[in-house]
Amino acid sequence: MLHPVFRLAASQPQLLAEHAAGYAGLLAEELASSGAQLQRRITLQIVGLLGLMVAAILSGVAVLLWASLPVASLQQPWLLWFTPLVPALLGVLALWIAHSGNGQPAFATLREQFEQDAAMLRRTTSP
């Protein structure tokens, strides 16, 4: 007795070709989606790290200014800590957003389709 897939391939090969084309389209969509998510995450990580680097440099400058200038001559000393705080907060926010992704695993739809097809093949081959 021949497996139903082999009978289908012999009698109607265009159906298997259409099914394979559907898998190729699904794979292309999943690759585009995963690529876009990866690019977004990497961009957010780079922006976050750059923000933290700028904050560290500005903090160093603020410490040098605080150490070299008399406190009485500073008109607005709060700017010494506020200026590096802004890029630090933006950097931490960008890193937090990059870390808290949507949680959807890559190629989940493709895996689900494989499982559905495997279940259908098991149903057709079971006695």
54-63 pLDDT, tens digit each: 999 999 999 9
With H, G, I as helix, E, B as strand and everything else as coil, classify residue 111.
helix
Q: Is the pTM of this model over 0.85?
A: no
- 11: its two tokens: 């009698």
Q: Can you tell me the distance from the alpha carbon of 34 to that of 30, in angstroms, rounded to the nearest whole number? A: 6
pLDDT in tens, 100-110: 876 677 778 88
Mean of pLDDT values over 85-93: 97
**Of 31, 111, 75, 11, nearest to 119 (Cα)?**
111
Single-letter amino acid code for the residue at 68: S
The alpha carbon of 103 is separated from its chain's Cα centroid by a whole number of angstroms, namely 9
DSSP 8-class letter at 75? S
> What would the pLDDT profile of 25-53 be if each residue is shown by its tens digit?
888 888 888 888 889 999 999 999 999 99
Distance CA 16, CA 63 (A): 70
